[in-house]
Structure 1
Amino acid sequence: MTDQTVSASQDQPRLSLVSKLLPLWIILAMAIGLLLGRFAPDLGKALQPGIPLGLFIMIFPAMTKLKLEEIKGAVRDWKAAAIVVFFNYAVNPFLLYGIGWIFLRDHPDLWTGLVLLGVAPCIAMVLVWTDLARGNGPLGIVLMAWNSLIQIVTTPFFIWLILGKQASVDISLVAQSVLLYLGLPLLTGVLSRRWMLKNKGESWFKKKALPVLDDIQLIALIATLVVMFALQGDVILQHPELIYLMAVPLVLFFFLLFFGVLFVSRRAGFCYADAATTSFHCTGRNFELAIAIALTAFASQPMVGVSTVIGPLIEVPLMLTIVYLAKKFEWTLFGTNTAGACSRNSLPQSNLNQ
């Protein structure tokens, strides 16, 4: 929505083989984890202490992309920021709670896991979805910065507000999880970014460091999922209906929210690239944080952890489907086929005056 938007498609990094085949890796991770849980359960237990490190590594690379000094860009792009804040923090937690009431009220632990997936927006994979959908990369980084900062405060609050009366929630453990798996990666990521830019330069950072960090992030995700499915393998194999029970509300949520926000963004005057970026930042879920909270604050309720582990298994193919549909709907909704670039005439009026 600034001048950077026009060249956003050229600035977007190419996805590596690891990123392009992510759904396959997740399916393989699930299968390997289930097999380990079935035939080598002690191995999963031995690897369990590595889960916190894996969760940290999953989130850290995304934080190295944050340009906190560019948060002021959301003042110029105030419409996108307003839409993202409204849907992520005034709609999503309660929407998933309501959908959970419809489909999962007889399964309270799964309902709790669904709520955990709803309280925090995605801050890592969302950049991959934006890239695949030919969205506005610079705008996405600004929105990710806002989401990273806001959810540090709002996540414990929403868990207390929504789940406090239904589950025994130790809010101090929730807060510790948020600080450990969100606050610490944010601090170390921002400091690491500044060090690399100062000592190695921007070109090296973008061309050398970021691709490696992206692959490390996804490898950490895959490794962590292997361990988690190994720990919960028996439960999932004995109750395969858990995947179906979680899939129905999540499919409804993702499609309703993404295309609802896409329509709102179109009505606000956004071009396709900006509308798609805004929609992904409202729709993607921070399953890394949800898993971390489930494994710590809800350790006595293992089915909560199972439900959050199932989350990425469902989210990844769903989001890839939405990416495909979004590009197909570009001409229908926006009358353009811009390959991610916004012409100057398609920008919201508030930005044309700058």
Structure 2
Amino acid sequence: MSSTPSPTPAAAGQSGVMGALSTLDRFLPVWIGLAMAAGLLLGRLVPGLNSALEAVKIGEISLPIALGLLLMMYPVLAKVRYDRLGTVTGDRRLLFASLALNWVLGPALMFALAWLLLPDLPEYRTGLIIVGLARCIAMVLIWNDLACGDREAAAVLVAVNSVFQVIAFGVLGWFYLEVLPGWLGLGEGTALRVSAWDIAQYVLIFLGIPLAAGYLSRQLGERARSRDWYEERFLPKIGPIALYGLLFTIVILFALQGETITSQPGDVARIALPLLAYFALMWGGSFLAGRAIGLNYERTTTLAFTAAGNNFELAIAVAVGVFGVTSGQALAGVVGPLIEVPVLVALVYVSLWGRRLFTTTSTTSEGSVHA
């Protein structure tokens, strides 16, 4: 595990994409692939494992998954310099672009792709639209940090998305699943009954707890010792926890859903196609948009990952709660992270390669997950 900060953009350009990541991060696709395989094998080979993992839940989310998510998010939020958030909130280009991409373009694009590529599979189509409505508030922090994005900007955008998620999820679900299909002559639509309080609970648990812990860690650590001690001694020690939490979450998730995934490979492939198109279009379009409006590399990267990522925990919870655990909607939610995780890891490398397109950059977010 390397605690060496990531190189400057010039150095990164000279040493290539791989040199911009720590030794542990460099093999992240390998670790994620192994975690996915381990989860699938555990779910298939260990009798009663699914029942044991599902025995304790927070809402509709398995407690082990909840713990993994909290462990994954805490180190990243502990790295945020909260005294710099004012410089982010004053960047109207970033905030307005993020809102437009997340709450206008993202849901509309997923709706279009779902209807275009799954016209004959209404359950999977509905599940994908739910995934498109659930904007990312968790794993995006990992991808942003790995790609050397603006850590403070990511924290602000995640918080903004969380507020909009509570307010807008139910309304957008009603619009895209009930109203718009009727307007376009596509059918009567599907009702989505989910309360704002249900959404708020997931936001409070999966963002509120690690955010509070990260903020208190920085405030108390700097007050008790110093900023240098906190960033040079404390953060390198807790940094690897983010990766361990990510891998643990992936193992548990795929252990819970492995049988469903492996028993319906054809359906998984059908669901994967619109997801692949969605992630590529959202990330690529957002990255180009950030550069076009004059954002630096760090904030462009943050804009792209916060726009492309989705909150699969919420999507799965809503699909299971409304349509049932064995429904096609739930399967579409489960396939979401199956595709999202490796694709966004690949986009970390694309992002670092694209750093050469920027002539100037800030050093707001030095380091990766293990910096």
Give TM-score scaled by structure 2 length: 0.73
Give the SS at the match of 2:100.
helix
Q: 2:108 aligns with which of 91, 94, 100?
A: 94
The counterpart of 2:194, out of the listed 163, 170, 194, is: 170
After the TM superposition, which of the residue ranges 19-28 and 151-160 deviates more from structure 2?
151-160
Query: What does residue 361 of structure 2 align with?
Result: 341
- Whether contact under 8 Å (1:152, 1:183) holds in the other structure is no
SS in 2 for 1:270: coil
What amino acid is the match of 1:216? I
In structure 2, distance between residues paired with 1:160 and 1:193: 41
**CA distance in structure 1 between the partners assigned to 2:120 and 2:95 by the alignment:** 37
Verify the 8 A CA contact 1:67 1:145 in the aligned structure 2.
Answer: no
Q: What is the aligned partner in structure 1 of residue 39 from structure 2?
A: 33
Amino acid at match of 1:250: L
User: Of 125, 129, 133, which residue of structure 2 is paired with 1:115?
Assistant: 129
Report 1:1-354 matches (<5 A): 17-48=23-54, 49=56, 50-66=64-80, 70-163=84-177, 166-171=190-195, 172-294=197-319, 296=321, 299-329=324-354, 334=357, 336=358, 341=361
SS of the residue corresponding to residue 120 of structure 2 reads coil
- RMSD over equivalenced CA pairs, Å: 3.5
Structure 1 residue 249, shift from structure 2 partner: 1.0
Shift in alpha-carbon separation, 1:180–1:136, aligned structure 2, 3 A? closer
Aligned pair in 2 of structure 1 residues 61, 188: CA closer, same or farther (>3 Å)? same
Note closer, same or farther for the CA distance 1:113–1:236 as it changes in structure 2 (3 Å cut): same
234-243 or 82-91: bigger deviation: 234-243
Segment of structure 1 superposing worse, 96-105 or 209-218: 209-218
Of 297-306 and 22-31, deviating more is 297-306
Q: Give TM-score scaled by structure 1 length.
A: 0.76
1:29-85 Cα offsets, whole Å, 9 max, x none, are 222222222222302321233333333333444443455554432343211111111
SS class of match (1:169): coil
C-alpha distance in 2 between matches for 1:264 and 1:79: 10
> Cα–Cα, structure 1 residues 155 and 23, in superposed 2: closer, same or farther, change >3 Å?
farther
- Contact 1:112/1:304 (8 A) holds in 2: yes
Check whether the contact 2:165–2:199 (CA below 8 A) recurs between aligned residues: no
Aligned partners of 1:71 and 1:146 also within 8 Å? no
Determine the C-alpha separation between the residues in 1 that align with 2:241 and 2:48. 26
CA deviations 1:244-289 (Å, max 9, x no partner) are 2232112211222222223322332334444333222222223344
In structure 2, the residue matched to 1:351 is none
Residues 65, 141 of structure 1: 8 Å contact kept? no
Q: Which amino acid aligns with 1:341?
A: T
CA gap 1:267/1:43 in 2 versus in 1, 3 angstroms: closer
- Give 1:25's aligned amino acid: W
Alignment deviations for residues 198-238 of structure 1 (CA, whole Å, 9 cap, x no partner): 33433343334444444323322322332332222222121
Asked whether the 8 Å contact 1:33–1:233 carries over to 2, the reply is yes
Unaligned 5+ residue runs, structure 2? 1-6, 13-19, 57-63, 179-188, 364-371
Distance 1:135 1:170, change over 3 A: closer
Q: Distance in 2 between matches of 1:64 and 1:143?
A: 16
1:87 aligns to what SS in structure 2? Answer: helix
Residues matched between the structures, number: 330
Question: Amino acid of the residue matched to residue 312 of structure 2?
Answer: F
The question of whether the paired residues in 2 share the 8 Å contact of 1:112 and 1:163 is answered with yes
What code does the residue aligned with 1:227 have? I
Moved more, 62-71 or 308-317: 62-71
SS in 1 for 2:48: helix
Q: What letter corresponds to residue 32 of structure 1 in structure 2?
A: A
Find the residue that maps to 1:249 and give its secondary structure: helix
Decide whether the 8 Å contact of 1:8 with 1:137 is kept in 2.
no
1:305-341 deviation per Cα after TM superposition (whole angstroms, max 9, x unaligned): 433333233223322333444454555xx4x5x5x73
What is the aligned-residue identity percentage? 36
